[in-house]
Amino acid sequence: MKWKLVIGALILLPVLAHVIYAFAVSPAANYYITVDQYVARSADTPVRVGGQVVPGSIRWDDATRTLRLRVAGDHSKIDVAYRAFAPDALRDDVTAILEGARAADGSFLATSVLVKCPHQYLPAGW
């Protein structure tokens, strides 16, 4: 009876360790990287980046239907181009979560733009 427990533990322990490791490195655990982490990367693989929208940087170009903005981290800023309509909640100083990759000119070419909701909604004037 004791041997069955030992063998079961020897089989389950590596499986459990693998599941914990897989979750720790998965996108579910690391939803996005910061702007500073993105700037430090040299790879141009698709990534999800989160940062604050720089005030006054949101520009819409009707001719090319391109939204351009700057997103800031603690020490770095990146230029972002997005060829679609912006979310209604996209404003200055909100946290934007961008999916995309580095473009040839060094800017970030976003394929998706999400806005992180505030923790608490307050009525106007509060």
Handedness of CA 119, 72, 92, 124 (dihedral sign): positive
The 3-class secondary structure across 22-84, one letter per residue, is HHHCCCCCCCCEEHHHHHHCCCCCCEEEEEEECCCCCEEECCCCEEEEEEECCCCEEEEEECC
Percent of the chain with pLDDT over 70: 86
38-44: average pLDDT: 84
The pair of structure tokens assigned to 65 is 């239907």
Res 27: pLDDT: 57
Fold for 33-115, please state it.
OB fold (Dihydrolipoamide Acetyltransferase, E2P) (2.40.50)
45-66: average pLDDT: 92
| Residue labelled with tokens 């698709």 | 46
Res 111: pLDDT: 94
57-85: average pLDDT: 92
Res 119: pLDDT: 63
63-71: average pLDDT: 92
C-alpha torsion 75→79→84→89, nearest 10: 30
pLDDT at 116 over 90: no
Using DSSP, state whether 93 is helix, strand or coil: coil
pTM above 0.75, yes or no: no
| Domain spans of the chain, in order of start | 1-30, 33-115
Res 120: pLDDT: 62
